Amino acid sequence: MADILTLVFRTFMSQEATAADPPPPTAGGGGALLVGDHSIGRSVLLLAAVTAASELGVRVVFFSQTPIQSVPVSLQKCVPSLNPESLKKIKFSYPGTAEELLQQVASLHESVCPPPPSLIVVDRLESYLCAPGHPPGERSRAAHLSALLCDTAAFCTQALQQQSSSSAPCRVLASFQSDCGPATDPVLDVVDRYFQVRCSLTQDGGYEAAAAGLQQLWHVCLSARGVTDAKDCEDRLGVGQQWQLLVFPGGLLEFKLV
């Protein structure tokens, strides 16, 4: 999954950047979890969805509790080639509760036509999973939903590869904002088990952003999680890389490899 994120980052790098041509998406499956502020997380999720639909031409399912009324202006500025045909490849769905989300993800296998999605996005997992006081059963619910996402992606991968042996695997991309800190959040600890890569988004608290005339500056770090081959992750998925996300006045987004 980090390969889609890395593709997003490289696609929206500044033209002055000296990085090499973006690598083609590789066959790395699994999931990536964006951990950080939900507003910037949502922007990155939308960018990933639009990039997957327009650049890779794949179907995307985007789950969120909050309806998306229109394409954000910042996204339109970032992707001037955005067109209705690309947007048609993205199905937006707004389950209100964890039960509804479970039902909708569990039902994805039922549709034979159109083909299964290649990217499953969940905005703000914590809004479905976390309740004040961490009631009993919260961890189990987090494991159920995360495992269902993981298993559904594995099924979609198999279905896609039956249709075309050269199909890339289905990927899961979700965002999570922790209220009690990523290091001590019990729900995040459970969710982490099922995601191969964590993408941490941390806002820069110094003066660098203001000095550069930016609205915001974010540090983006990809790290490997779970039972996985860390070296393989580094080689194929860009794990271990650090990026900066620059948000300009007016909402334009740009990524810079550190």
Partner 1 sequence: MSSFLPAVAQQLFRDIQKTYEETSQIPDDLLIALKFIFGPCVLQALDLVDQHSVTCLSSPSGRKAFQVMGGSGHLYTCFESCHYCPCPAFAYTVLRRNEGLLCKHILAIYLCQAMGVTQQESVSDQQMSVLLSGTAIPDT
Q: Rounded to whole angstroms, how far apart are CA atoms 73 and 43?
A: 11
Number of residues in contact with partner 1 under rule CB under 8 A: 30
> For residues 152 and 244, which CB has a smaller minimum distance to partner 1 in the complex?
152
Is residue 172 classed as helix, strand or coil in its secondary structure?
Answer: strand
Dihedral of the alpha carbons of 109, 110, 113, 117, in degrees to the nearest 10: -30
Q: Rounded to whole angstroms, how far apart are CA atoms 185 and 189?
A: 6
Identified binder of partner 1 from the candidate list 17, 27, 71, 106, rule CB under 8 A? 106
Min separation Cβ 216 and partner 1, Å: 35
Structural contact between residues 45 and 31, judged by C-beta atoms closer than 8 angstroms? no
The candidate with the shortest Cα–Cα distance to 49, out of 113, 120, 155, is 120
Largest interatomic CA distance in the chain: 53
105 interacts with partner 1 by CB under 8 A: yes
Min separation Cβ 101 and partner 1, Å: 9
190 interacts with partner 1 by CB under 8 A: yes
Number of H-type helices and E-type strands within the chain = 10, 9
What does the per-residue mask of binding to partner 1 show for 227-246, with x meaning CB under 8 A? xx------------------
> For residues 49 and 187, which CB has a smaller minimum distance to partner 1 in the complex?
187
Residues 122-151 that bind partner 1 (CB under 8 A): 137, 139-140, 143-144, 147-148, 150-151
Min separation Cβ 192 and partner 1, Å: 11
CA 257 vs. chain centroid, Å, equals: 18
Residue 217 CB contacts under 8 Å (≥ 6 apart), including other chains: 203, 204, 208, 209, 244, 245, 246, 247
The candidate with the shortest Cα–Cα distance to 242, out of 189, 194, 204, is 204
119 interacts with partner 1 by CB under 8 A: no
Residues 209-228 that bind partner 1 (CB under 8 A): 226-228
194 interacts with partner 1 by CB under 8 A: yes
Identified binder of partner 1 from the candidate list 110, 132, 211, 213, rule CB under 8 A? 110
112 interacts with partner 1 by CB under 8 A: yes
Q: What is the DSSP letter of 179?
A: S
> For residues 50 and 190, which CB has a smaller minimum distance to partner 1 in the complex?
190
Structural contact between residues 44 and 92, judged by C-beta atoms closer than 8 angstroms? no
Structural contact between residues 66 and 207, judged by C-beta atoms closer than 8 angstroms? no
182 interacts with partner 1 by CB under 8 A: no
> For residues 112 and 258, which CB has a smaller minimum distance to partner 1 in the complex?
112
23 interacts with partner 1 by CB under 8 A: no
> For residues 76 and 162, which CB has a smaller minimum distance to partner 1 in the complex?
162
Positions that interact with partner 1 (CB under 8 A): 99, 102-103, 105-107, 109-110, 112, 137, 139-140, 143-144, 147-148, 150-151, 154-155, 158-159, 162, 186, 190, 193-194, 226-228
